[in-house]
Structure 1
Amino acid sequence: MTTTRSAGRSALFKFSLVLSVLASGVYQNAEAQTSYELNSGWKCTSLNSVKDNGTIISQTNYDLAAWNAAVVPGTVLTTQVANKQVPDPFYGMNNEKIPDIYKVGRDFYTYWFAKDFKEAAPTGSNQTYLNFRGVNYSCDVFLNGHKLNSKLHKGMFLRQSYNITKWLNKNGNNRLAVVVYPPDVVGNPNGGQGGDGTIARGVGIQYTAGWDWIQPIRDRNTGIWDKVTIEHTGAVAIKDPHVVTLVPGVRKPEGAQQPAIIQVSAEVENATGAAVSGTLQYNLDGKLVSQPVTLKANSKQEVKLTDYSLKNPKLWWPSGYGPQNLYKLNLQFVAGGKVSDQKSIEVGVRQITTEWNNKTESRQVNVNGQKVFIKGGNWIISDQMLRFSDARYDAEVRFHRDMNLNLIRVWGGALIERPEFYEACDKYGMLVFQDMWGSGDCNGRWIDPMKADDQWTRRKYPDDHDLYLKSVADQVKLVRNFPSLAIWCGGNEITPPEDIFAALRDTIMPKLDNTRWFIPYSNSEEMSRNVQGGNGDGPYGIQSLTTFWDHQTYPFNSEVGSVGVSDYESLKRFIPAENMVVPEFDASTGKTKTDPVWEYHKYIGYDGFIDKYGKAKNVEDFATKAQLVNYDQYRALMEGFSSHMWDWYTGTIIWKTQNPWTAMRGQMYDYYLDPNACLYGLHNGSEPLHIMYNQTDGMVMVANNTFKTHSNMLLVAKTYDMDGKEKVLTKVFADVTPTTTKRYLSLKREIEKEAKDKGIFLCLQLLKSDNEVISENIYWLPDANGDFSGLQKMPKGDLGATAKYLKNGKVEVTLTNEGNGALAFFNRLSLVNADTKQRILPAFYSDNYVTVLPGQTKKVVIDHNPGADKNLAVTIGGWNVTERTISIDK
């Protein structure tokens, strides 16, 4: 791996512009002296608009004046949106105004892309390479009048590398021209999962024909969608280095460590007509490891260096368990005293193993010998139009860390994620469960009347098995060095065809990446078996909170989730004012009447849960109450699974935590990177050391998802009525051993008595010996009828607030409930522009939707990009606290 590094239409356009800048910005990597990106100055035109071929178009004297500016990396649709040729498909019903490839034909989205660049022809034995990291779906490549590929290149995920040394113009002026064809079979977007399913006949992204959380992507992501680079080497180039770390025994994050074993290998290629002798070597932690190599003319060779014993290694751990230490390894090929090529790799020293847990009847994941309870989120893709950037990847993965999760599953209907995603996961301690391409929906697991082909036919998808296998092997090499990558999976809810699966299991994975858990499919019996036998996933809709605690689901559930509508500020970014209509739930029929735009953006119903807080007056009121439901749902979800850790479960993965467009379900933050209460309910419910309350049996419990014993803690349980009157229920000393959940006592009788008339607040705390709060959890519990009647008449809270800069890019907000009155309940903090009051996105809050008890002070730290805005303020408002804006002290 080479290290590389607001409301309405106006706000939508501004944010889209920011994304475009992020996606197309120049990011120099660690090989800046030998490699650079071709990521600006591209031009494009449709195939139908030109009659000339690539050998003519790629000559520097060919006139491109009539061509349009193009976004590369990007897609045809990305370019069309940037050039305002089509409306933004993320707003309202705009996507319906864009021609779909199924109706207009593949030629409509077949495009030429051209790029002029300066590059002098190398001298001596030096070489220059042109690299494509991803083109969808097929292409021909021309440079300076020469066709570089001997046959049509196919496959969205198959990298291309061309030695262009002899084709560079002597004057240094060069032109690259690429004709890009859409997928061979584009699929009918008929409303099914993956449309009619035929999109899966190719080796590409399946959801582009539509799914139950996204509308069809009109060009099916046709384009040069990933990075294009020019690379310089000497006679010998290093290809696809491989670093394996072995960490024997059971380790702890702290203290001295026994040695770890580092294994390094790489393919080296001599591109010249003469033999070359040299040394493949690397430096790690100040130690040099080397291997002499002699390469014949025009040859490749796999070289394995001697295993290296790393003394007292600084280990890499998942988030919540320990630090994410990374070593810099610089791999070089040296010949004649000069560096011919080098690759910089960040190495996380860790070892992933699994074992069968007989108690849960499921696999458990071990890191460095320690069992880790999996708290994960399902990830689709960062942006449906593939507008990827380092900054967006970093923000999205950071949000997952901030939810106190430790794993991200990359779903199989999308892609094998990019190195920049994995870099962020390495940084923030997110293990990755990486599906390969395929889904039960498209690939024939069950009968489906929306599909064009029968199950036997779909079971053989894709059409080109050889291309699939070549693509998998290539992508494994692309990402296998990242320590965060923990699990390979054959596909979403189904294995690939039998011959493909056998090759993956028996040949490709053992040869290319044999240290990770490879599972057949995402909910296979190899992961877990439930009491009925087999495994599965779900449910996906809103549930009673007690269900999460009491209903035993699958022991390692790869998909379970709930609702996810964001707040009113978020909704205004993509829903026109005339469509701001409150959904109407009919309890007698169990059905919801929904506005067409909400329906189009895949709204999933809250049923009667909103009405428990009082019938929504308008959309703003609805969205505010939805946040209370969101917080409760996801806190209860993770608490319920944690309460049965190592008893019923070894892990769970939420479906899902993010959206690649403006959908209204399954998200902890919206497409614009604005978090909602789902995120902070999870942040609370999955904190590493967590006190919690089972609303079914009244049991107070402590979940310890760390490797440390926590002892001599004081467990405090107290209630507050709607006026803020406090009643202490119990104070007992508590301790809990590593990676366990402990039951303490039931408060069911006392709580039901206190709550029966108006509901009650329950505050649970764990205190250290100096009375420092190390875990606090505040529940709002309903009355005897299951309604939050007291909240509906709750008196105003008295919340004082100040803000100051801790340093550039970091703001501390102090919240104080100074009176003896009611709790200041469920306060949303937002970092905003002081003049427009528009939120700064993204911003990262140490906590949010914060409740402050009478007499209590809390601090919230807000991190943001210091260059985003210089004129900042903080808005604060809650359930019973009027929103206001405060300045930030310098």
Structure 2
Amino acid sequence: MPYMFKKIFVFILCLNCFFIFGQTSYRNLSTENWTFNKQNEVKKYKATIPGTVHTDLFQNQLIPDPFFGANEKQLQWIENENWEYETEFILTTKELKTENIDLEFEGLDTYASVYLNGELVLEADNMFRKWTISAKSHLKIGTNHLKVVFHSAVQKGKEEAKKISYTLPEKERVFVRKAQYQFGWDWGPRFVTAGIWKKVQLKFWNSAKIENMKFSQVELNDKKAILEFTTEIYVSKVKTIQLKINKKSETFNLKKGKNKIKMQYEIANPKLWWCNGLGDANLYPFTVEISQKKQFLDSKKLNIGLRTIELIQEKDQAGKSFYFKLNGKPVFMKGANIVPPDSFLPRVSDSTYFSLVENAKNANMNMLRVWGGGVYFEDAFYEACDAKGILVWQDFMFACSMYPGNEKFVQNVKQEVIDNVNRLQNHPSIAIWCGNNENDEGWHNWGWQKQFKYTKADSTQIWNDYKKVFHEMIPKTLDSLLPKEKNIYWSSSPSIGWGRKESLTQGDSHYWGVWWGKEPFEIYENKVGRFMSEYGFQGMPNLETLQKVIRKEDLNFTSEAFKNHQKHPTGYETINEYMERDYVVPKDFENYLYVSQLLQARGMKIAIEAHRLAKPYCMGTLYWQFNDCWPVTSWSSLDYYGNWKAAHYQVKESFAPIFLAVAEKTDGLSIIGSNDNLEVKAGIVTVKLIDFSGKELWTASKECVLDVEKNTTCMQISYADFPKFVKEKTVLQIEFSGNHKNTVAYHYFVKPKELQLEQPTIEVKIVGETLIEVKTNTFAKNVYLQSDGRFFNDNYFDLIPGIPKIIKTDRPTDNIMVKSLFDTMK
């Protein structure tokens, strides 16, 4: 080998090692040259790690784009095959001299046999677990060979299903500890993946390593916070080490094996962590470091938020409360249910998680529910929630079925719980741990016993297995892992199904009378629970989104490609039925997409308004759903590419800290204000009756002080106070102004399809580098701005003559297309 080439080779090798000179160092094996092949086939292809077999096949042009058209249907063969991944890496003499070398897989999806230099060293069977093996005895100086064989999760699941005498709902997927949504959902495709879906690395350490670190709040008040850190350290022999937390250091004598050592740390005049809308999400950075005789051994970093959180369930006249207190203050939770951002998870970058959380914050949310049919998200998601003040309702990964309860399954899940709770528990954003999504409701309300013809013995066994996992193992494991202030557990969401009256008087509620029950949006006003953790309605994505995955000639309701991007069996029919109730149904396809979004936004407005008006009886509203895993017509308010649908703009308004609503009565109207701040807000409420030409027909003003604990009726208006007006040509404008940002709301007296709109002339004027002014000559409903994928901080808004609106864009533009509801009613 020429001398210069040797120098370059060694330099590249060192870069690949990411070697930190000290006692602990890492070698990233994900960046080695990996190949993959279908088992028993000779030809190998380039693989990307982390990755999945589907994305590797696509990158090698062996399959078409899985998301495009109806390609999904022709790619189902992939899930039934076994796949092999392998690489070679060079180990130096210096590396092999390290006392201990661990092979760490952050994530294997799912049934994997791992071979190191021809020896079977690991059999994995859980996508959600971290897999670590002591690898030094299997390694050698020079070239080493690593091979991972992935066995079909579908076939493995079917094999497990045959071992019991009855059929569990959802068949093979419930036996497989992998992301359940990958088996297909009513908003997602079926792509049952396999692959090394997270980083793989070698960890080199000599005498000691930190295995886990957690903290508890011993004391927290205005003057001081006392934290107790528990650090789990593994040492290869008896030794004395120094534990340093930031600038504080103590010495400990450790025995061989695992040690748990505790050390307290005090913070003077602590700043509390608050959720979005209530204060700053203050974080304290900590570095925990171990050393021996001033020689560095290992370290961990974390950001700590000081806060208390409680779930309050107290009996009252109606039933039992269900609300959260943050730092002793009751908080009305506003947010959504979040699903995995892609069917192929290794494609999701940290920046994607950051963007999702930013979009939640910008829509005035303070909570996201990580739904149980997906995955425990990457650290980047929780770090973003910590920084942005978004609380997390964290499901464990079980959804919409019953699961086995044999000892092997339960122990596998127990380790899954340990791995993920240890990883996530230090995040101040984690508010509650929930056992599953809708399993309890499904068992009691969905007719499984009759559908699957269970005997009494079968039903007893299945329910006992359920209790073993969700009422016994998980809560007991949490008790062993978490300090009291972090240990809030809820066994199943919802606690009671939406068909029973108790679902609205206690616990959390999933209300699906709208959509599934075809009930009108207005039923939301009567069906309000204590904490609404699921409800929703579908809206189509923008045309630009669909054009990326459907050919132009297939953009119609009859094409297979278009049908494939709607996973609910009667989804389009349901949208159309509701649209006919409230809107003039457009004949033009693009206009239909637009009105479907207005329809979805209208449903969300009515629901959220009902929930907020019921405060403090109702203290939370999390709609279904926040985002998508692929381009599709679904319940999401953000499409797959992160574009805001009309619903997301609506929930931003409906979740605002100060919220105005109109309650209609037989003889008049009540103007109600809801205040989610920590302190009362005083101001002037001004109500104006305005016709569509912009003429002010009537006005009234009144001082109003918005309470914190309950809603405030600011004004009572009798219909007799109004002059004669045409309901179809009039809007009621309500404004609350004071020493804060003004809040404006509009109220209409008829449904959108009954409005007598005239064609508006909408003028868009550039008034700054990223600022535009929008105004109209006559009332314009749901003004939609579009400009080559640019983001507007407000959209789908109503515009009154004489009241121009200033809109901010994310980058300069002078090419803006404008549409309003009138354009769809021609």
Please indicate the TM-score interval, normalised by the length of the shorter structure.
0.7 to 0.9
Q: How far, CA to CA, are the matches of 2:438 and 2:612 in structure 1?
A: 24
Aligned to 1:709: 680
1:330 counterpart = 2:287: yes
Are 1:494 and 1:520, in contact at CA under 8 Å, matched by a contact in 2? no
Secondary structure of 2:311's match?
strand
The letter of the residue matching 1:221 is T
The letter of the residue matching 2:523 is T
Q: CA deviation at 1:676?
A: 0.8
Provide closer, same or farther for how the CA distance between residues 773 and 209 of structure 1 changes in structure 2, counting only shifts above 3 A.
closer
Aligned to 2:224: 259
1:235 counterpart = 2:207: yes
Query: 1:521-553 deviations in whole A, cap 9, x for unaligned?
Result: 1112699954677864222527644333x3133
Q: List aligned pairs for 1:642-657, cutoff 5 A.
A: 642-647=612-617, 649-657=618-626
The letter of the residue matching 1:94 is N
Are 2:611 and 2:621, in contact at CA under 8 Å, matched by a contact in 1? yes
1:546 counterpart = 2:522: yes
Structure 1 window deviating more from structure 2 (635-644 vs 228-237): it is: 228-237
Q: CA deviation at 1:768?
A: 1.9
The letter of the residue matching 2:778 is A
Q: CA deviation at 1:313?
A: 1.2
Q: CA deviation at 1:502?
A: 4.6
Q: CA deviation at 1:237?
A: 0.5
Aligned to 1:384: 343
Q: Which of 785, 788, 801 is residue 766 of structure 2 equivalent to?
A: 801
Aligned to 1:430: 390
Q: How far, CA to CA, are the matches of 2:600 and 2:175 in structure 1?
A: 38
Q: How far, CA to CA, are the matches of 1:856 and 1:773 in structure 2?
A: 17
Q: Which of 517, 534, 537 is residue 559 of structure 1 equivalent to?
A: 534
The letter of the residue matching 1:87 is P
Q: List aligned pairs for 1:624-773, cutoff 5 A.
A: 624-647=594-617, 649-695=618-664, 698-711=669-682, 713-747=683-717, 749=719, 756-768=726-738, 773=741
Q: Which of 31, 37, 55 is residue 46 of structure 1 equivalent to?
A: 37
1:614 counterpart = 2:584: yes
Q: Which of 145, 151, 155 is residue 126 of structure 2 equivalent to?
A: 155
Q: How far, CA to CA, are the matches of 1:211 and 1:756 in structure 2?
A: 46
Are 1:77 and 1:221, in contact at CA under 8 Å, matched by a contact in 2? yes
Q: List aligned pairs for 1:209-358, cutoff 5 A.
A: 209-217=183-191, 220-245=192-217, 248=220, 257-271=222-236, 274-283=237-246, 287-288=247-248, 290-297=249-256, 299-306=257-264, 308-358=265-315
Q: How far, CA to CA, are the matches of 1:709 and 1:31 in structure 2?
A: 57
Secondary structure of 1:49's match?
coil
Provide closer, same or farther for how the CA distance between residues 617 and 462 of structure 1 changes in structure 2, counting only shifts above 3 A.
farther
Q: CA deviation at 1:115?
A: 5.3
Aligned to 2:13: none
1:861 counterpart = 2:803: no
The letter of the residue matching 1:551 is N
Aligned to 1:887: none
Q: CA deviation at 1:720?
A: 2.9
Q: List aligned pairs for 1:414-429, cutoff 5 A.
A: 414-429=374-389
The letter of the residue matching 1:778 is Y
Aligned to 2:106: 133
Aligned to 2:146: 176
The letter of the residue matching 1:656 is Q
Q: CA deviation at 1:98?
A: 0.8
Q: Which of 48, 51, 54 is residue 71 of structure 1 equivalent to?
A: 48
Are 1:567 and 1:676, in contact at CA under 8 Å, matched by a contact in 2? yes
Provide closer, same or farther for how the CA distance between residues 27 and 737 of structure 1 changes in structure 2, counting only shifts above 3 A.
farther
Q: How far, CA to CA, are the matches of 2:473 and 2:722 in structure 1?
A: 56
Aligned to 1:499: 468
Q: List aligned pairs for 1:452-467, cutoff 5 A.
A: 460=405, 464-467=409-412
Provide closer, same or farther for how the CA distance between residues 339 and 529 of structure 1 changes in structure 2, counting only shifts above 3 A.
farther
Q: How far, CA to CA, are the matches of 1:473 and 1:748 in structure 2?
A: 60
Q: How far, CA to CA, are the matches of 1:627 and 1:369 in structure 2?
A: 39
Q: How far, CA to CA, are the matches of 2:218 and 2:701 in structure 1?
A: 46
Q: CA deviation at 1:212?
A: 1.9
Secondary structure of 2:801's match?
coil
Q: CA deviation at 1:34?
A: 4.1
Are 2:471 and 2:491, in contact at CA under 8 Å, matched by a contact in 1? no
Secondary structure of 1:240's match?
strand
Aligned to 1:572: 547
The letter of the residue matching 1:235 is S
More helix by share: 2
Provide closer, same or farther for how the CA distance between residues 319 and 163 of structure 1 changes in structure 2, counting only shifts above 3 A.
same
Q: How far, CA to CA, are the matches of 1:880 and 1:532 in structure 2?
A: 39
Are 1:767 and 1:774, in contact at CA under 8 Å, matched by a contact in 2? yes
Are 1:355 and 1:363, in contact at CA under 8 Å, matched by a contact in 2? yes
Q: CA deviation at 1:670?
A: 0.7
Provide closer, same or farther for how the CA distance between residues 850 and 40 of structure 1 changes in structure 2, counting only shifts above 3 A.
farther
Q: List aligned pairs for 1:770-781, cutoff 5 A.
A: 773-781=741-749
The letter of the residue matching 1:207 is Y
Q: How far, CA to CA, are the matches of 1:526 and 1:260 in structure 2?
A: 42
Are 1:136 and 1:155, in contact at CA under 8 Å, matched by a contact in 2? yes
Provide closer, same or farther for how the CA distance between residues 787 and 462 of structure 1 changes in structure 2, counting only shifts above 3 A.
farther
Q: Which of 312, 315, 324 is residue 365 of structure 1 equivalent to?
A: 324
Q: Which of 793, 797, 801 is residue 850 of structure 1 equivalent to?
A: 797
Are 1:610 and 1:622, in contact at CA under 8 Å, matched by a contact in 2? no
Aligned to 1:782: 750
Are 1:659 and 1:671, in contact at CA under 8 Å, matched by a contact in 2? yes
Are 1:796 and 1:880, in contact at CA under 8 Å, matched by a contact in 2? no
Are 1:332 and 1:341, in contact at CA under 8 Å, matched by a contact in 2? yes
Q: CA deviation at 1:72?
A: 1.8
Q: How far, CA to CA, are the matches of 2:119 and 2:313 in structure 1?
A: 56
Query: 1:156-211 deviations in whole A, cap 9, x for unaligned?
Result: 1121123444555435x5443222223253469xxxx9984321012222222222
Secondary structure of 2:95's match?
coil
Q: CA deviation at 1:431?
A: 0.9
Are 2:688 and 2:700, in contact at CA under 8 Å, matched by a contact in 1? yes
Provide closer, same or farther for how the CA distance between residues 544 and 118 of structure 1 changes in structure 2, counting only shifts above 3 A.
farther
Q: How far, CA to CA, are the matches of 1:338 and 1:323 in structure 2?
A: 38
Q: Which of 806, 811, 816 is residue 875 of structure 1 equivalent to?
A: 816
Aligned to 2:443: none
Q: CA deviation at 1:119?
A: 6.2
Provide closer, same or farther for how the CA distance between residues 526 and 207 of structure 1 changes in structure 2, counting only shifts above 3 A.
closer
Are 1:543 and 1:633, in contact at CA under 8 Å, matched by a contact in 2? no
Query: 1:108-158 deviations in whole A, cap 9, x for unaligned?
Result: 243223354676643766644332111111223234455433xx2221112
1:85 counterpart = 2:62: yes
Aligned to 2:784: 828
Q: CA deviation at 1:652?
A: 2.2
Secondary structure of 1:634's match?
helix
Are 1:185 and 1:199, in contact at CA under 8 Å, matched by a contact in 2? no
Q: Over aligned residues, Cα RMSD in angstroms?
A: 3.6
Q: How far, CA to CA, are the matches of 1:280 and 1:123 in structure 2?
A: 27
Q: Which of 372, 381, 387 is residue 412 of structure 1 equivalent to?
A: 372
1:202 counterpart = 2:167: no
Provide closer, same or farther for how the CA distance between residues 111 and 873 of structure 1 changes in structure 2, counting only shifts above 3 A.
farther
Query: 1:244-303 deviations in whole A, cap 9, x for unaligned?
Result: 346656xxxxxxx332231211210113xx4321122211xxx52x44222334x11111
Are 1:186 and 1:209, in contact at CA under 8 Å, matched by a contact in 2? no
Provide closer, same or farther for how the CA distance between residues 154 and 631 of structure 1 changes in structure 2, counting only shifts above 3 A.
closer
Q: How far, CA to CA, are the matches of 1:357 and 1:422 in structure 2?
A: 30
1:482 counterpart = 2:454: no
Structure 2: runs of 5+ lacking an equivalent: 1-15, 160-166, 441-464
Q: How far, CA to CA, are the matches of 1:138 and 1:114 in structure 2?
A: 19
The letter of the residue matching 1:90 is F
Percent of residue pairs bearing the same amino acid type: 22
Query: 1:558-577 deviations in whole A, cap 9, x for unaligned?
Result: 21111222222223233333
The letter of the residue matching 2:563 is P
With the length of structure 2 as denominator, give the TM-score of the two structures: 0.84
